[in-house]
């Protein structure tokens, strides 16, 4: 189980780096865009920022679980903390289901990254 967590965490770190770089590039190039293009790039940057925050929190949780001596107990404590904060706990009960849910979020982030890069290429390719 720890190997699966380490692999997921390694992938998350790379994806967070890519999201951050694309977000920074879009924000740096923003002043050179027209009004319509600026709005589209800002919306995609907002989506990237949300997904980066979401995946960053997931990476933080995975790191905590990796350090825990008893993984099932750490997962249960995390769910209890979410319940105390009146937040919705993860949909999966076991680690495989939770990693599958994380993979879906990672796929969404990569699709948003592709959209953001395509928008930047479209607007700067036509200029």
Instruction: Return the closest-CA partner of residue 105 out of 4, 7, 11.
Output: 11
Res 25 pLDDT > 60? yes
Helix (H, G, I), strand (E, B) or coil at 14: helix
Tokens of 37: 């293009």
Q: Rounded to an integer, what distance in angstroms lies between the CA atom of residue 10 and that of residue 15?
A: 9
Percentage, residues of the chain above pLDDT 90: 54
Lowest-pLDDT choice from 78-82, 88-92, 103-107: 88-92
Q: How confident is the model at residue 104 (pLDDT cuts 50, 70, 90)?
A: very high
- On the question of pLDDT at 127 being above 60, the answer is no
Most trustworthy range by pLDDT among 7-11, 81-85, 121-125: 7-11
Kindly state the tokens that stand for 32: 């050179």
Does position 126 have pLDDT exceeding 70, yes or no? Answer: no
Tally of structural domains, the chain: 1
- Cα–Cα distance measured from residue 81 to residue 2, given in angstroms and rounded to the nearest whole number: 22
Check: CB of residue 47 under 8 Å from CB of residue 59. Answer: no
Domain that holds residue 42: 2-125
Q: Which of 29, 92, 90 is nearest to 54 (CA)?
A: 90
Q: Tell whether the model's pLDDT for residue 111 goes beyond 80.
A: yes
- Taking alpha carbons only, the member of 65, 55, 59 closest to residue 104 is 55
Would you state the pLDDT for residue 123? 87
């Amino acid at each position: 189980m720890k190997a699966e967590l380490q692999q997921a965490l390694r992938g998350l770190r790379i994806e967070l780096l890519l999201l951050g770089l694309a977000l920074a590039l879009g924000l740096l190039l923003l002043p050179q865009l027209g009004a319509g293009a600026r709005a589209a790039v800002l919306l995609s940057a907002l989506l990237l920022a949300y997904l980066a925050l979401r995946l960053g929190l997931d990476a933080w949780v995975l790191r905590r679980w990796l350090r825990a001596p008893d993984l099932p107990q750490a997962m249960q404590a995390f769910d209890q903390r979410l319940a105390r904060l009146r937040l919705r706990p993860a949909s999966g009960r076991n680690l495989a289901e939770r990693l599958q849910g994380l993979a879906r979020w990672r796929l969404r982030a990569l699709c948003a990254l592709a959209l953001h890069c395509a928008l930047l290429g479209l607007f700067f390719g036509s200029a």
